[in-house]
Amino acid sequence: MTRTDVTPHEGELHAGNLAERLNWLRAGVLGANDGIVSVAAIVVGVAGATTSTGAIATAGAAGLVGGAISMALGEYVSVSSQRDSQNALIEKEQQELHHDPAGELEELTQLYEARGLSRDTAGQVAKELTAKNALKAHLAMELNIDQDDVVSPWHAAAASALAFTIGAILPMLAMLLPPASVRIPVTFAAVLIALALTGAIGARIGGGSKRRATLRVVIGGALALAATFVIGMLLHTGGVA
């Protein structure tokens, strides 16, 4: 009996969802990390220079809005370029199949031969896949592209902006809600815990090492917070702020 209900093994990213999942991972997790770190660095730096809640809130809000727009724009431009490249390759392959189907069939056969199949088996596989969907077969084998899996720049931009905003809200609340005497240590703790969680989540989705991913983001975030706090303190001490 032919099996048609094959289920991917746990942790494996199979064709049909790889590009989409990686795109959302990149836009979502990195957007959240950027929102947490960048806005936390801003509010901690301002808090190092002044205890004014209004000044801290204004700086944090400006960082949130500007950062979200910047992230969305960056993702849109980046993914649009990727999509344009994919579409150009797809169009090129369509033209080649239209003008030289026999040559493309031979090319596909040779590609399967290079993967270790015998000439006869490679030819049979190429013929059957070509008969079913020639373009899909060539895109997958030659270019590792799934025609139905071309990423959307609008989705990436929206995910990045939303993730950045969600991430940015945390340090703002951690800074503004507690009493002034404890707002900086509370913000440090909340940010580092949040970064540890996003690092672990990103590693789990991507199948990487949770320990390494968590250490990278936590150490980087701690350095950013420490640097901006010291700068704020120096500005305050020097009478600039």
pLDDT value for 75: 86
d(CA 185, CA 73): 33
> For the chain, what are the domain ranges?
18-92+149-237
Phi/psi at 234 (nearest 5 deg)?
-65, -40
The full length of the chain comes to: 241
- Judge whether 156 and 79 are in contact, CB under 8 Å: yes
pLDDT value for 188: 94
pLDDT value for 241: 57
d(CA 31, CA 185): 24
pLDDT tens-digit readout, 158-186: 888 999 999 999 999 999 999 988 999 99
Calculate the alpha carbon distances from 54 to 63, 176, 191 in Å: 14, 9, 21
d(CA 20, CA 196): 24
pLDDT value for 70: 93
d(CA 9, CA 104): 33
Q: What is the mean pLDDT of each run of 10 residues along the chain (241 residues)?
A: 46 50 67 92 93 93 95 89 85 88 88 87 88 84 73 83 93 93 94 91 76 89 93 79 57
Q: Considering only CA atoms, which of 70, 31, 27, 29 is closest in space to residue 168?
A: 31
pLDDT tens-digit readout, 79-99: 898 888 888 888 888 898 889
Phi/psi at 17 (nearest 5 deg)?
-135, 0
d(CA 60, CA 183): 14
pLDDT value for 22: 63
